[in-house]
Amino acid sequence: MDCKRVKKLLPDFLELNLTEDLQQKVKTHIDSCEYCTKIYWNLKQSLDLLKPTAGIAEQAFYYERLKQKMENRLESKNSLLSVIFSKKLVQPVIYLSSIILAVYIGILIGSNNPSFTQYSEIEADENINPIETFAEYSYLNDYEIETIENLITESDDDN
Amino acid sequence: MNEKILLEKIASKDEQAFQFFVEKYHQMVLNICNNILNNFDDAMDISQEVFIKIYESIESFRGESKITTWLYRISVNKSLNHLRSKKRQKWFSGMDIIFNSDNDKNIPEDVSPKPGENIEIEENKKALHLALNKLPKKQNIALTLNNFEGLTYKEIAEIMEISVTEVGVLINRGKKKLKTLLIDYFKNN
Ligand SMILES: [Zn+2]
């Protein structure tokens, strides 16, 4: 029997699952082969470690450390929530949205309410003299849209 | 204290009851995590996550199974999730190597024997954990719970939410595969 075959039979050999004949043959090989002996003992010892172990002992201050961790987590969570729900963030958002809402309602009313369309009746009224209308609006000269500073400098230049 | 009353008290955020509970079960939870993670610091960290989860979700415990079954289940799930995220981290630190950045974070797990301990046993322990981690997840869990924790097939079935027969199959296949993996390991080392 060669090492390769022994290696294959080793798991069943450990469990005494082989026929008596094979069991004996594997044993004979292991006894005479250093290489297979090493594998056999290492395998056996590793499998022996597969059993309930005392493992890790009770830990002092385990609860205290856990509590610390929970408190830290709560703090960081709270600080995040407080940023989101703080007046600093929420108030401006409410103000801004109410302004937008107000403007939007204003536009809605403006486009639907007939009383606002009366301004366009100036054109519709045939009795209105176009010259009078021009005179009425003629003060809307170039200066009206100039800044006061510009007006002053220009009048200075005239002098 | 009666367990049912204890759980009710924890549900109503009674701190003393929670402390009693943690002190009673932390060693058990710590060992389950350590048997899966094979790393004390990680086990400490994840076991704490288990208790935080319990504290936050105790209302959802229906009392149909034993509290220890529930603890086992959460511990196993949290540990497996941690292993998964660690695998992802390894992938990213692999990318770090490729991109030639600092890689001090990629500290290998402490598997070197501590002074005074039997080197051969430590070597075998390392081989066992390497082999267990190479098994399919379910086989690994079933074997770990059966062997390290000494749980019965019925208890494992409850924790893993599978049938007792399935547990038997997982353990048998797992053991067979484990031996092959161990032989391969010793053959090459
Ligand atoms: Zn041989």
Determine, for residues A50 and B23 on separate chains, whether the beta-carbon distance falls below 8 Å: no
Looking at the structure, tell me whether residues A40 and A91 fall in a common domain. no
Q: Which of B72, B36, B33, B78 is nearest to B53 (CA)?
A: B78
Identify the burial level of A54 via C-beta atoms within 10 angstroms of its C-beta, where 0-12 means exposed, 13-18 middle and 19 or more buried.
exposed
Looking at the structure, tell me whether residues A100 and A149 fall in a common domain. yes
pLDDT in tens, B8-31: 999 999 999 999 999 999 999 999
Cα–Cα distance, B164 to B153 (Å, whole number): 6
Residue A40, C-beta contacts closer than 8 angstroms, at least 6 positions apart: A10, A30
Distance A54 CA to ligand 1 centre (A): 36
Give pLDDT, residue A152: 44
Looking at the structure, tell me whether residues A42 and A91 fall in a common domain. no
pLDDT in tens, B174-188: 999 999 999 999 988
Asked, for residue A69, whether it belongs to a domain, the answer is no
pLDDT in tens, B106-158: 334 444 445 555 788 888 988 998 999 899 999 999 999 999 888 999 999 99
Determine, for residues A55 and B31 on separate chains, whether the beta-carbon distance falls below 8 Å: yes
Looking at the structure, tell me whether residues A155 and A94 fall in a common domain. yes
Cα–Cα distance, A58 to B67 (Å, whole number): 19
**Letter for the amino acid at B40?**
F
Res. A138: pLDDT tops 60: no
Note down the domain range covering A145.
87-159
Asked, for residue A54, whether it belongs to a domain, the answer is no
Q: Which residues of B touch A58 (CB under 8 A)?
A: 26-27
Looking at the structure, tell me whether residues A41 and A92 fall in a common domain. no
Report the domain count for chain A: 2
Asked, for residue A43, whether it belongs to a domain, the answer is yes
Determine, for residues B148 and A52 on separate chains, whether the beta-carbon distance falls below 8 Å: yes
First CA to last CA distance, chain B: 52
Distance A13 CA to ligand 1 centre (A): 14
Res. B43: pLDDT tops 80: yes
Asked, for residue A15, whether it belongs to a domain, the answer is yes
What percent of chain B is modeled with pLDDT above 90? 57
Give pLDDT, residue A151: 43
Residue B110, C-beta contacts closer than 8 angstroms, at least 6 positions apart: B39
Distances from the Cα of A22 to the Cα of A1, A8, A14, A29, angstroms: 10, 12, 12, 11
* B36/A contact by beta carbon, under 8 A: no
Phi, psi angles (nearest 5°) of residue A75: -60, -50
Q: Which residues of A touch B26 (CB under 8 A)?
A: 58-59, 62-63, 66
Looking at the structure, tell me whether residues A92 and A150 fall in a common domain. yes
Q: Which two tokens stand for residue A54?
A: 């005392």
Asked, for residue A37, whether it belongs to a domain, the answer is yes
Distance B124 CA to ligand 1 centre (A): 20
Asked, for residue A158, whether it belongs to a domain, the answer is yes
Asked, for residue A149, whether it belongs to a domain, the answer is yes
Looking at the structure, tell me whether residues A156 and A92 fall in a common domain. yes
Asked, for residue A32, whether it belongs to a domain, the answer is yes
Look at A121 and B133; give whichever has higher pLDDT. B133
Most confident of A64-68, A121-125, A148-152, B64-68: A64-68
Give pLDDT, residue B119: 82
pTM metric for this prediction: 0.64
Query: How confident is the model over A109-133, as a mean pLDDT?
Result: 57
**Partner residue opposite A11 with nearest CB, options B127, B148, B176:** B176
Cα–Cα distance, A50 to B127 (Å, whole number): 12
A56–chain B nearest CA distance, Å: 6
| Planar angle of CA A82, A85, A90, nearest 5 degrees | 140
Looking at the structure, tell me whether residues A92 and A40 fall in a common domain. no
**Partner residue opposite B51 with nearest CB, options A39, A53, A66:** A66
Q: A75-84, B61-70, B78-87: which range is least confident on average?
A: A75-84
Looking at the structure, tell me whether residues A30 and A91 fall in a common domain. no
* B149/A contact by beta carbon, under 8 A: yes
- B 54-83 residues inside an 8 A Cβ radius of A: 55
Query: pLDDT category, B53, cuts 50, 70, 90?
Result: very high
Q: Which two tokens stand for residue B105?
A: 């974070």
The residue with tokens 């022994």 is A6
The residue with tokens 């005179």 is A135
Please give the domain boundaries of chain B with CATH numbers for all domains: 1-89 (1.10.1740.10), 116-189 (1.10.10.10)
Torsion over CA of B172, A35, A4 and B188, rounded to 10 degrees?
70
